[in-house]
Amino acid sequence: MLKHISPLMRTRLIIYSRIFLIWALCINSSAVFSQDSTVSKSDSLKIYELLGSAQLLIDRPGEIKANFNLAEKYGRHALALSTNLSYQKGIGQSFFTLSKISKARKDIRSGSDYLMKSINVFRADSSLREFEADADIELANYYGINEAGDLANKIRLYEQAANLLALKLPNSLKLADALKYLGDLYNVKEDNEKSISSLQKALKIYKSLKYDKLQDIYCLLGAVLNRNGASREGLRYLQLAEKDAVRYRDSSSTVTTMYNRMGNIYNSLNQYKQTNKAFEKSIIYARKNHDKDAVLMVSANLGWSYLRVNKSEKAVRVIKEALLSANRKDTAHIINLNTTLMEAYIQRHDLANASKCNASIKDMIRQFYLYDFLLINYHHAAAKLYLKLRDFTNCQSQINATKTITNRSSNIRDMAAAEKLQYQLDSARSRPWEALKHLNLFMHLNDSLNTRNHDREINQLQIAYESEKKDLDISSLKQRASLREKILISEKAARNFSMAGMALFLILTLLLFSRYRLKQKTNRELQIKQNAINGQNLSLKHLLNERDWLIKEVHHRVKNNLQIIISLLDSQSSYLLDENALVVLRESRHRMHSISLVHQKLYQDENLTGINIKDYISELIGFLKDSFGIEKKIRFELDVEPLLFDVSQVVPLGLILNEAVTNSIKYAFQNQSECVISIAVRATTDNFVEISIADNGCGLPPDFDIDSCSSLGMNLIKGLTAQIQGKLSVFSANGMHICIQVERLRTLGSKPAPGYEI
C-alpha cells in the first residue's frame, strides 16, 4: 500500500513505526519489571531501548556494515547491562538480537551459537518459556528443506515452539502461525496425517480469532488432503482459497500455487478441461509476478495436462518457451521440462527429437539429487522411448529403476504404471506368459488404487457426518437453555420497553419529519448542481474529442509530409549516377521512414501517448528487409516485450535501430551461409529497459574505439543515446553487439501490455 503514498508521507510513516516499536519495547520492559523486582524500571527501559535501536538498524534496507556494527554495539551494551543486573530475560533477548545481527552479516555459525545461548537462558526460567519458542523458530530458519537431516531439525524445532506456545499462549495468532508452518514442513516430508492435523488446528485458531485472509492455509490443506487420497475434500478447500483470494484481490505467489494445486486435483479426478484452465491461470499469475521458478514448474504441469487431452503441439510450444528462460542452475526444472517434452514428442511419434531430449538430461539424472517424482517421470518416459525404439535392454533398465523407487515409496499409482510398461515390453519380446502375469498385476494394482480412493472418500464423509451430528446435539441443548433464559428476561423487559417505546415513537416521528423537510431542500440544491456539472462534462467531452481528432490530424499530416520527402529522395536518386550519393539518399530515406512510422502508428492507434515497441520494431524490420531485398539471405530473431514507449523516446530509438541494422546488413556478413541479426528489448528493473542489437558477422576491427570513431552512423547512435539519457556499450563477441540501457518514460493513459493482462 505504501507505493501509493507520497515519499514525504512514506518517510514519516516509517519514522512513526520505528518510534512505535521502541515504545512497545519500553512498555514490554515495564510489564516485565512489575514481575521482576530485582531490576529497576529505569534499567529495564534502558536495556529495551538499546535492543529496540539495534533492531531498527538491522531492519534498515541494504547490507550496510556501519549499521551492523552500531547494532552490535547496542546489543553488547544491553548484554553487559543485563549481565551486571543478573536480569535473565534481558540476557536472553540480547543474545537473540546478536544472533539476528550475525545472520544479517551471513555469519551463520555465530548466529546459531547466540541462539543456543538464548534458548538455554529462556529454558532455565519457566516464566520465560514463551520467548524460548521465538528462539526455536529463529533457529529453525537456519535449516533448509532439501536435505533430510536439515528438514528433521527444522521440524523438531517448530514442534518444540508449537508445544511451548500451546502451553503459554493458547489460541494465539503466534501459535496459529507456528502450527501452519509446521503443517507445511510435514507436507514437505510427505507426512500427510501430521500435516493435516497441524493445519486443521491452526485453521481452528484463525477462525476463533476472526482472522479472514485464510487463502494460504486453505491452499496448503487442500493440497495435502489431495495427496492423502481425499481429492474432493482437498478441492473444496482450494475453492475456499480461491474465494478468499478473489475477495481480497490477492495476486501474490500464493494464487500461483493455489491454481497449480487445483490443477493437480482436477487431474487426479480426471477432469482434464478444468485441469488445463487451472494451470493456465497459474502460469498467468507466475508471469505477472516474474516468478521464474513458478513459471518453469507450472509450464511442465501445463504441458502434462495438454498431453492428457492429446494436444501435443500446445505442450511442445509451452515447454520450449519455458526452456528459453531456464539456466544451468535450474537442474530440476530442466529435467522436468525435458521429460515432459520427451513425452510430447513420443505422443507425436517424433522419436528423433524425443531421443535428443533424453540425451540432454540423462547425464544430469546421475549427477544431481532429485525428488522421487521427477525420477519416476523420467524413467517412465525413457522406458516408453526405448520401447518405441525397440531397445529392449535399456527399456528394461529404466523399468527396473522405476520399480526400485516405487518399492521405496509404495505409491500404488506408480507401481501400476511400471507393471503396465513391463507388460508392454514382454509383449514386444514375444513373452506371452510373462506379459500376462504383469498385466494381471497391473489390473490388480489399478483396482486397489480405485478401491482405496473410494474408501478414503467414504471415511472422510463419515467423519464429517459424525462431527456435524455431534455439533448439532450440543447446539440443540445450548439453544434450549438459552431459550428458557431469554423467555424470563423478555417478560421482565417487555413492560419497560412498552413505556419507553411510546416515548421513542413520538421523538422519532418529529425527527423523521424534520429530516424529510431537510432532505427535500438538499435534493433540490443537489439537482441544480448536478445539472451544471452534467453541462460542463458534456462540454469537456466535446473538447476532448476535438483534441484527439486534432492530434491525430497532426500526426497524419507529419506522416504525409515525411512520405513526400521520402518520395522526393526516391525521385532524386533516379537522376544520380554516383553510387555514394545513392547510398546516402537511401540511408536518409530509411531514417525518414523510421520517423514516419512513429507518426503513422500514432495516427492509426487509439492510444495517442505511447507506441508499442514490439509492433513498431516488427514493421521497421519488415521495411528494411524489403528495401535491401534480404528476405532469404539474413534471418532476424526478435525477442521484444510489448512495452509502451513515449513518442520522445521512440523516434531516437527507431533511428538507432535503423543505423545499427543497416550497418550490420552492409558490413557484417562476408560470404557467410548463416546470417543472423538479433534484436531484444526487455524490461529489467522498474522502468529501466535493455535494448540489444547483435549479429553473428565479422565483428568490429581489433583497434575499434567508439570514442574516436568518426562515422556518421556511430555518431548518430552515440548522440541519440545521449539524447534519451541512455547508457551505450558496443563490443565484439562472435559478431558486433550494441547494448543500450534507458529509463522508460511513463505514458499518460497507457493501457497494460497484452501479455500481462489477467
Q: How far apart are CA 586 and CA 626, in angstroms?
A: 13
Report residues of the chain scoring pLDDT below 50: 1-35, 37, 454-455, 458, 461-462, 464-465, 468-469, 472, 751-758
468-476: long-range contacts, CB 8 A cutoff, minimum separation 24: none
Among 222, 317, 297, 205, smallest CA distance to 253 is for 297
- Identify the residue whose cell numbers are 502460469: 283
Contact by Cβ (8 Å): 570, 592: no
How many whole angstroms separate alpha carbon 178 and alpha carbon 182? Answer: 6
Buried b (16+ CB within 10 A) or exposed e, 571-603: eebeeeeeeeeeeebbbebbbbbbbbbbbbbbb
Instruction: Indicate the length of the chain as a whole number.
Output: 758
- Distance CA(154)–CA(145), nearest Å, equals 8
Q: What is the pLDDT of residue 670?
A: 77
CA quadruple 516, 520, 523, 529: dihedral sign: negative
Report the b/e string of 172-199 with b at 16+ CB within 10 A.
eebbbbbbbbbbbbbbebebbebbbebb
pLDDT attached to residue 607: 63
Residue 524: per-residue pLDDT: 86
* Among 690, 716, 758, 650, CA closest to 285: 758
What pLDDT is attached to residue 433?
85
Chain mean position to CA 28:
37
Give CA–CA dist 729/707, Å, rounded: 11
User: Rounded to an integer, what distance in angstroms lies between the CA atom of residue 376 and that of residue 379?
Assistant: 5
Contact between 322 and 299 under an 8 Å Cβ cutoff? The reply is yes
Sign of CA dihedral 136, 138, 139, 143: positive
**Residue in the block written with cell 487442500:** 222
Which amino acid type is present at position 63?
E
Distances in Å between the Cα of 376 and the Cα atoms of 127, 336, 343, 383, 402 are 51, 11, 13, 11, 6
- 569 CB-near residues (< 8 Å, 6+ apart): 585, 588, 589, 592
The three cell numbers of residue 646 are 513515449
Query: Residue 44 and residue 52: Cα distance in Å, rounded?
Result: 12
Where do the structural domains in the chain lie, given as residue ranges?
630-756
Write down the pLDDT at residue 693.
Answer: 92
Contacts of 670 (CB under 8 A, 6+ apart): 697, 698
Task: Return d(Cα 543, Cα 271) in angstroms, integer.
Answer: 54
**Sheet hosting strand 727-732, strand order edge to edge:** 634-640, 675-683, 688-695, 736-743, 727-732
Question: How many other CB atoms sit within 10 Å of the CB of residue 334?
Answer: 20
Say if CB 303 and CB 277 are below 8 A apart: no
Q: Where are the beta strands (DSSP E) in 511-647?
A: 610-612, 634-640, 644-646
Q: What is the pLDDT of residues 8-36, one digit of tens each?
A: 344 444 444 444 444 444 444 444 444 45
For 481, which DSSP code?
H
Q: What angle do CA 593, 598, 603 make, to 5 degrees?
A: 120
CATH number of 630-756: 3.30.565.10
Q: What pLDDT does residue 294 have?
A: 87
DSSP state of 214: -
pLDDT value for 38: 57
Q: How many Å from the N-terminal Cα to the C-terminal Cα in the chain?
A: 21
The rounded distance, in Å, linking the Cα atoms of 402 and 375 is 8
Instruction: Using a cut of 0.85, tell me whether the model's pTM lies above it.
Output: no
pLDDT computed for residue 231 by the predictor = 82
Residues 262, 215 contacting (CB under 8 angstroms): no
CA 384/CA 142 separation, integer angstroms: 42
Q: What integer pLDDT is reported at residue 329 of this predicted model? A: 78
| Structure confidence at residue 680 (pLDDT) | 93
The pLDDT value given to residue 9? 41
575-628 pLDDT, tens digit each: 667 777 776 676 677 777 767 766 676 656 666 667 888 888 888 888 788 777
Number of H helices, E strands in the chain: 25, 7
